[in-house]
Amino acid sequence: MAKVEALSLAPTHSFSKTQQNKLELLAGLGVRGDAHMGETVKHRSRVKQDPSQPNLRQVHLIHGELHDYLKDKGFVIKAGDMGENITTRGLYLLALPRGTKLRLGKTAVIEVTGLRNPCSQLNDFQPGLLEAVLVKDGQAKLVRLAGIMAIVLKGGHVFPQDDIALELPPEPHERLERV
**How does pLDDT run across 55-80, given as a tens digit for each residue?**
999 999 999 999 999 999 999 999 99
How far apart are the C-alpha atoms of 176 and 173, rounded to whole Å?
A: 9
**How does pLDDT run across 96-141, given as a tens digit for each residue?**
999 999 999 999 999 999 999 998 899 999 999 999 999 999 999 9
The pLDDT value recorded for residue 45 is 78
What DSSP element (H or E) covers 123? Answer: helix 121-125
Band (pLDDT 50/70/90 cuts) for residue 36 is very high
Pairing assessment for the beta strands 86-89 and 59-63 based on DSSP bridges: parallel
Quick check: 82 pLDDT over 90? yes
Quick check: 177 pLDDT over 80? yes
Topology of domain 3-167 in CATH is M1 Pyruvate Kinase; Domain 3 (2.40.33)
CA dihedral 50, 54, 60, 66 (to 10 degrees): -70
